[in-house]
Amino acid sequence: MAKFGMSLCTLGMAAEFRGKVAVNSLWPITAIDTAAVRFALGGDAMAADCRSPEILADAAYAILSRPVADCSGNFFIDEEVLRAEGKADFSAYAPHAGDKPLQGDFFVRTPSSIARRRGSSAGSDGRPRAGGSRPSAPSRGRVAGGCFTAAVTAAR
> Which pLDDT score is estimated for 34?
84
What is the pTM (predicted TM-score) of this model? 0.70
Instruction: Name the fold adopted by 3-103+143-154.
Output: Rossmann fold (3.40.50)
* Domain map (residue ranges) of the chain: 3-103+143-154
**What integer is the mean pLDDT of 71-100?**
89
**What integer is the mean pLDDT of 4-21?**
92
Q: Which residue has the higher pLDDT, 126 or 61?
A: 61
Ordered strands of the 75-77 beta sheet: 75-77, 21-27, 149-154
> Which pLDDT score is estimated for 45?
78
Asked if pLDDT for residue 50 goes beyond 50, the answer is yes
> Which pLDDT score is estimated for 42?
79
> Which pLDDT score is estimated for 25?
93
Under the banding of pLDDT at 50, 70 and 90, the label for residue 48 is confident
Query: Can you tell me the distance from the alpha carbon of 149 to that of 72, in angstroms, rounded to the nearest whole number?
Result: 14
Q: Which residue has the higher pLDDT, 29 or 106?
A: 29
Which residue, 43, 45, 54, 49, is CA-closest to 130? 49
> Which pLDDT score is estimated for 65?
93
Q: What is the chain's mean pLDDT, rounded?
A: 73
> Which pLDDT score is estimated for 153?
59
